[in-house]
Structures are given as structure tokens and as C-alpha cells.
Structure 1
């Protein structure tokens, strides 16, 4: 925190003292210092860094060549600087009366530097000639960098300008020292008060920092616990999801197996159903055929029964007719032997009513022969 007295004098003097000490102790910066210094917006009383006359070694050293990629990068940056300086040249063109020599500027700097330095915060040397000089130096540096891979022209120009500016910066330092000396007494008086305030302020900041650190620690601890809990929950959730996926895969496998089994059983059912329909149809056909045969046999049985009854009547009739003949002839055979002989003769010779029996036996023999032939064909086919 910056402190300033109501008059503003001691604070400014202290700043000037620190800046003068920094300027004297610090070596020259390798930044470009053009022939006419460029406009610089720095803090009140700021002094450009430079080396005290005779304090720096101005011998040039052998510079290492940079790579082509680095040369392109540096060239891009320097070209951007040249473009900015060109834009400033178009905004503020150089009048003829401002093209003064640096020696004339240094001769009048001691009279003009103090009011400009403290009230307008600008360097006393005009800006526009320095802009043109800086643009030229940067252009030459870009060419050397692209051709040779070094920026020695920039350092050479820097050394030349530092040598020419020694007198100018001596004048600036003398002016600043003259303005700082009256302020040293007031500075030493207010320094102790300022130190005490700074100590209290630092203690307060330390306490605040400790409290903030504890709060941050508690907050981070809470966040870490929450993250740990979330991680555990996420791991458990992932495990459950994996188990669910495994169960789903098993269920899918069981469903697929069930579908395959069902399809197989349906196919077997269709086969069995077709076989059952075939055997039912065959049973119906065979039953119908057997019924027809049974009807034929019944009809044949009825016909045979009728024939036998007729034969019995004829036999009785013949027995009645033959009995008197036997008695007359004196035959000794029993009457039933005669009847049996006669009946056998009629059957063997198919006489009388047994003519139809001959037809029946012939038809039955033909049927049995056809069945034997069909059975032999089936056996051969098998």
C-alpha cells in the first residue's frame, strides 16, 4: 500500500532517491537508444537505465549466429515495430524545425528537463527524428539477420548511441540529485512512522494470510473428501453397471437358447404332426379297406350259409330218396357213410350247388397270388 503526505513532497523525494540509486548501480540495458529519444510513458521521475561513463566495457564480442527459424521470428517482431513506427510517422509528420542535432538538444536539456520531467513525464528530446532513426536501424537489422544470421548492426548502433548520450544522462542525473537533496531530511523523519505502519500492515496481512490459508485448507479438505466419496460411488456404480451388463448378456444368451430350442421343438412337432397325419390317414384307408373286406367276407359268409342250407335241404331230400333204395338193394353201409361219400363226391367234382364254390376258390387263389407277388416286390425294394 502506497502512503503519501498531504504535501506530497517526502513521498516523491523518496522515490527519486531510490531511482537515482538504481540508475547508478544498474548497468546499461541492451535495448536500442535512437539518436533522438523516443517518447516514453514511464512513472514520474523515472530515469532511463544507463551505465556511468567509463563503467562499462564497450568492446564488441563475437556473436553466435542464430538459426533460420529464430531469424524469421525476430524479423516478424521487428517488422511489426517498423510498421508501428511508420503508422506514428503518418499520424505525426516530421516538421523541418524539429530536425535538430543531438548536440543542440543536449546543450538546452539542463534548462528544460526539470519541468518536463516532473509535470509532463516525457523525455526532453523530440520524438519524430528518433522514430525515423529507429525505423532505419531496425530495417538494417532485419536485412543483416536474414543475410548473415546475426544482429550485430543493432548492438553497434546501441553502443554508438550510448556513447553519444553520456553527456545527456549526466545532466539528467545532476538535475535529479539536486531535486532529491532537500527532501532527505523530511524523508528520514517520516521513515520511522512509515516503517511502523508497514509493520502493522504486514502483521495484519500475515494474520489475514494465515486465516485465508486455513480456510483454503478446510475448503480443499472438504473438496477432496467429496471427490473421494464421488470416486467410491462412481467405482461402485461402475461395478454394478458391469454386473448388470453381464446379467443382460446372460439373459440374452438364455433367450437365444430358448428361441433355438423352441424352433427345434416346433420343427420336431411339425414332423411328428405330419407323421401322425400320415398314419391317421393310412389307418383310415386301411380301416376302410378292412371294412370292405369284412363286408365282402360277411356277404360271402351269408352266401355260403345260404348255399349250405340249400345243400342241407338237398341232402335231406336225397337222403329221403336214397333210403328206400338202400333198403331195396340191401346195402349194409350206414346211411351216414353214404351221405358223406356222396357229399364228398359232389364237392370234389363241384357238382350241383358246389359249382359256385369252384368260382370262389379260384377267386381266392388269385387274390393270394397277387398278395404274394406284392410282398416279394416290397422285399426286393427294401
Structure 2
């Protein structure tokens, strides 16, 4: 159940938050991007930033006093502590180097975030007297920081893996270099062996030539002896040829019968081939028809996709215009609230309208204010 704040505490919290919003608005006006190109920007921006930092410190002191006075609301204390942390990060960024592009971008982003949170909290405090918006914004900021830390951890792990792969690549390159050197040495060794083989082959060729001449001489002597043996073998072969003729005739008859059977099988397979070709042609025609149907369906889907994409783009433009209009209305409400607060302060300080009192009441009030001032001076 959300905790509601009482009347006096509500006024103090609203006053402190409104002061913070005003200081952040001043900070946004003194830190434009145009200062980056001006040589005198360092001195001017440094003086303005020191003033803003001192004002933020005063606002933090006021928030600490409010936190001590409000002992029963622990959630407000935690939320204010988170707001203090955001202020400290903003101040630390400004004190390092306020004119660097990264710091300027971060300062503007943090300032806009704080202004948005403070504006939402003020609106909620005035309407419902609760601060659920502040708690929700703090939780969302914690989740974003946790997500960023997770991304950084994954990036570091990726860098470590990249370094390990680079080291592995260097090792592989060294191994390949050593292997190339070994192959070059082996190539040189094989070239030497090839040269030796060429010399050895030439010697063997000379030896074979001389041996062949000697064998020819011996062969001529053997030929005369073998001629008689050949005449005897011719007679024997003539007898065998007669046997071979008879065998040849029987083989020819067998082969003709086999040729007839193979011709019949060939006609059967040719008929089956033509039938299969007709079936496959029908399947091809069916596939072409299905391809044309699918192509038309794909064109229809592409047209519907283009129409849907156009609708989405129009919807995005409409949402962007609505968001800009809401931001403008919110800025106008904030400005009206500031003007009303200033006017009420003027009426209270000058005693105008419903805040006007009698002379006796004014004297008593002046006496109390004098005592309060003297107490503060002490």
C-alpha cells in the first residue's frame, strides 16, 4: 500500500523538489553545445558549474533535514538516497571535464532524466500525496545499470576469447612455417636423388645396349636350331586348327541364339523406357503448374507486406506526433506550476489577497521573523 505524506511534510518535499527542478533548468541553460567552440567557455562554464554544484549541495542538505524529520517513512529515505547518488554522479561528471562531448551528452541526459522524475513526483505528490513514481524510476535505473554491467562483462569475455584465438592463430602460423621449411628441405633432397637416378639410368642404358647386342648374336645361333622345332609345331598346330574351327562353329551358333534373346530384352526395356519418360514428363508438368501457383501466392504476400509496412510507418508517425504534443503540454504545465508557485510566494511575502493580515498580526509576525533571523545568524 503506498505511503501518503502529511500536509507539512508534503509542502517541504514539494519545495525541495521544485528547487531541484529549477536548479536543473538553470544547469541546462548554462551548458549549451555552443560553448564548445568558444575559447572563453572554460572560465564562464567553470564559474557557473561551481555555483550549480553549491546549490545542489544546499538542496541535498535540505533533503537530509527532511529525512531526519520524517522517521516513519523508510521508502522516502531510500528514494532520496538514490536521488542523492544521481546528483553526485552529475557533479562528478561536471567537475572532471565539463566541455568534453561525452560529458556534455551524459550531463544533458542525466539532467533531463532528473527533471522528468522530479516533475512526475511533484505531480503525483500534488494529486495523490504519494511517491510511487520516484520508487519506480529508481528501480528502472537500477535495472538499466545491471543490464549495462552484464553487457560490459560479456564484452570483456569476448575480448579474452579474441586474444586466445589470436594466440592460437600465431601458433598455427609458426607450425605452418616450420612445415614449409621441412617441405623445402625434402624437395631439395628429392632433387638430389633425381639427379643421382638420372646418372644411374644412363649407365644402365649403356649396359643394356651392350647386353642386347650379345643376345642378338646368340639368338641367331638359336634360330637355326629352332626352325626345325617350328616345322614340327606347324604340323601340330594345323591339327589343332581343325579342332578350333569346329569349336568356332559351335560358338557362333550359340552366340546367335544369345543375340536373339538379348534383342527381345532390348525391345522390352525400350518400351519401358518410353513409358517411364512419359510418366516423368507428366510429373514435370505438375511441378511447373505448382511453381506458377506458388509464385502468384508469393506476389500476393509481397503486396500485402508492402501495404502492412506502409500502415506501420503511418502509425509510427502518428505516435511520434502524439508524443511531441504530450511533451509540449507537460512543459507548459511545468511552466504554469512555476509561475503559480512564484505568484503565491510573492503574495505570501507581501501579504496580498487572502494572505493579508491586520497591523497587530503583522507586528507580531515581524517580531517572530526578527527572532528567527537572529537565531539563524547565531
TM range (shorter): under 0.3
TM-score by length of 1: 0.27
**Higher percent of residues as helix:** 2
Question: Which structure is larger by alpha-carbon Rg, 1 or 2?
Answer: 1
TM-score by length of 2: 0.28
Q: Which has the higher contact order (CA 8 A, sep 6+)?
A: 1
